[in-house]
Amino acid sequence: MTRASDIAYDKIRGFLLGGPAQPGEQVTEEQLAQIAGVSRTPVREAMRRLENEMLLVRSPSKRIFVADWSREDIDEMFTLRQMLEGHAANRAAHRLTADEIDRLETINQELHAAVERDQPDVTRFLDANRMFHEIITHAAHSPRLGQVLAMLVEQPVVLRTARHYSVEDLKQSARDHDELIAAFRARDAGWAEAVMGSHLRRAFHTFADAAEEGAGPRAEAAE
């Protein structure tokens, strides 16, 4: 890959995940080249990568659309996260140091503080949530696991999920973290994996229900 295609990939990926792009919206090479600030040749290379990641989809007539994930797609994404993060929690249970567990406790206190306000601070919640899960993934001591999770756990996806959480959902997330910490202190890998699994399954239903509520008619990408 060329430097220009890497730049195009990063900028277009940011546009698709965190920018104004709407699911099912048609995009063109010219439009993406303007967003990336490069010529169309590296944009084509970047688009192929993004199609492989299922962030762009090509219709039978060769038009390009922003991916519009179905409930089945979202289910698969969260199922993979459940498997991988559950495995990370299992490995971390025997590898986290006492100091790291104390750090998880401190971060989760910050998360509790964010959701106990009269108006929950979602940004503060997200920052604490990201740090909490990063410590667990790091403690699993599996670089391959970390790389795969980085592709599945996109902050814009987490953000869209959190924005649709009720106050009780946010509080339940913090309680899930409390139980994870208890499992880690007990060095109980099975318990940690089970809690992580239910934690992510709850997040799936929140995200999928919100996606269905906001879904409009699908474009030609559904051909």
Predicted local distance difference test score (pLDDT) of residue 93: 98
For residue 58, the SS3 value is strand
107, 127: one domain:
yes
86, 161: one domain:
yes
23, 130: one domain:
no
User: What do you get for the CA distance between the two ends of the chain, in Å?
Assistant: 31
15, 104: one domain:
no
CA dihedral 158, 192, 90, 161 (to 10 degrees): -10
Q: Confidence band (pLDDT; 50, 70, 90) for 213?
A: low
Residue 168 lies in a domain: yes
Q: Which of the listed residues 24, 39, 67 is the one where a domain comes to its end?
A: 67
Q: Which of the listed residues 67, 87, 106 is the one where a domain comes to its end?
A: 67
Residue 147 lies in a domain: yes
Q: Which domain holds residue 158?
A: 71-213
Each residue's pLDDT tens digit, 170-211? 999 999 999 999 999 999 999 999 999 999 999 888 877 766
For residue 218, the SS3 value is coil
- The residue-averaged pLDDT of 126-130 equals 89
Predicted local distance difference test score (pLDDT) of residue 216: 44
Residue 220 lies in a domain: no
21, 77: one domain:
no
Each residue's pLDDT tens digit, 53-90? 778 999 999 999 998 877 888 788 889 999 999 999 99
Predicted local distance difference test score (pLDDT) of residue 126: 85
Predicted local distance difference test score (pLDDT) of residue 158: 62
Say which CATH number the domain at 36 has.
1.10.10.10
Q: What percent of the chain lies above the pLDDT cut of 70? A: 87
C-alpha distances in Å from residue 125, one per residue of 21, 122, 174: 25, 5, 9
- The residue-averaged pLDDT of 9-35 equals 86
147, 106: one domain:
yes
Q: How many domains does the chain have?
A: 2
Q: Confidence band (pLDDT; 50, 70, 90) for 157?
A: low
Residue 36 lies in a domain: yes
200, 121: one domain:
yes
